[in-house]
Structure 1
C-alpha cells in the first residue's frame, strides 16, 4: 500500500496516490488511472491535465511505473461514482491523514526508499527553479527572442520552435511576424510592442514584435529544463 502524503511539505495540502485509492476501493490500479484521466478531461474549469498530478513509483521488480497523486478535492470527486462503503474508507483515510498534520510515516523499507526518491526529485526541481530565477532576475522589461535565447543559454531557433510547438506563439501567414497567443499575454509571459523600421526607400514602417517578459523567461526556463 502506498502512503498518503502532502508531498514533503508538512503544511501543504494532503494528496492520495492512485495506488492507494485502487487498494481502498478494491479496484485494479490501471482502472483507477483510467478513471482519473477521464475525470480530468471532464473538468472544464479550472482546466487540469494528467501531467499536473503525474508521479512515478518502483514496483517489486524495480520497474518505474506511472501513478497519480490527487489533492483531497479531486480524490473525493473521483470516488463519487464508487460504492458508498468504499467511498467511506477513502474519506476516513483522508481524515486520518489530516489529523496527522498531512504527513504519514513510511510503513516499510520500500516506502522509505520511495519517500527518499520523491524528496530528491523535489529538491532537484527546486534547484532548477532557483538556477533559472538567478539567470533571469536581471532581465528588465521584455526581450526579443534572440536576446531571450541568449539569456537562457539556448539557440534562438530552439526557443522559437519550442514556443511555436507549445502554443505560445503563431503566425497568421507563412512569412508573417510571430504573434503571441492571448492566454500567454494575459498570463504576463509575452507582450506585443510596435516598433518602427526603415524601408529601403527611406520611409518608415511600423511592425509588431512579440517579446518575452521576465516572467515569461522564468517560465520558459523551467519548462525547457536542462536545455535552458
Structure 2
C-alpha cells in the first residue's frame, strides 16, 4: 500500500480519493463526510484543502487533501477489524513522512555550503534511481494501453508469479473489475475508471445479416500499468 501519505506544501497529507480506495468506500460518501465535518465546526476547515483529479476521459473531479488531524477526524467513524488495520497503516505512514520532514528528508538549506552539499547528495540519489524513475514516469505518461493478459507478462517480468487468468480473478476480487456475470463482466468498475487505471476500447463488428454489434475490450492505461506493478511489488515485499 504505497503512497498512503504524500508531501504537499511541506506538509504530510493524504487525499479523499486515496482514503476511499484503501477503506473500500464510495468516494462521494467520503466527500460528504468531510463536508459534514467542516459544516459542523468551521475550525476544522484548515485541516482540509480542496483539490482536483483527472479521470481516464480527461474530466476533472473534486477531491480533498487532509493532514493528520483531518484524517483522524474523518476515520473516527470507520469501524471493523480491517478499518483498524488501515488506520494503523495510515498512522505509521504519517509518522514516517513527518519523521522525514523533521530529520532532513525534506530539509531546506540555510547556507550556501548546505545548499551545495544537498544538491550533490540529491544528484547522486537521482543518478542511482534514474533507470527506475524513467521507467515509472514513461509508463505513467504513456498513451499506449495494453491488455490485462499483457500486463500479466509485465508483472512476471518484474518477478511476480501470476498469469492472465489469476490476474483477472485478483482484479475482480479486489473490486477493479466487475465480477457479476453479464454483459459488463470483466469491465472496469467505476472506482477503477475514476482512478484512470483502464480504458474501454469499442470495436464495431458488421455481420452478414447487416446487423452491427459493438465489442468492448478492457485495456490498462499507462497509469494503470504503473499502479498495478507497484501494487504487486508492495505485496511481494
Higher relative contact order (CA 8 A, sep 6+): 2
TM-score (normalizing by structure 1): 0.43
Structure having the higher Rg: 1
Normalised TM-score (structure 2) = 0.42
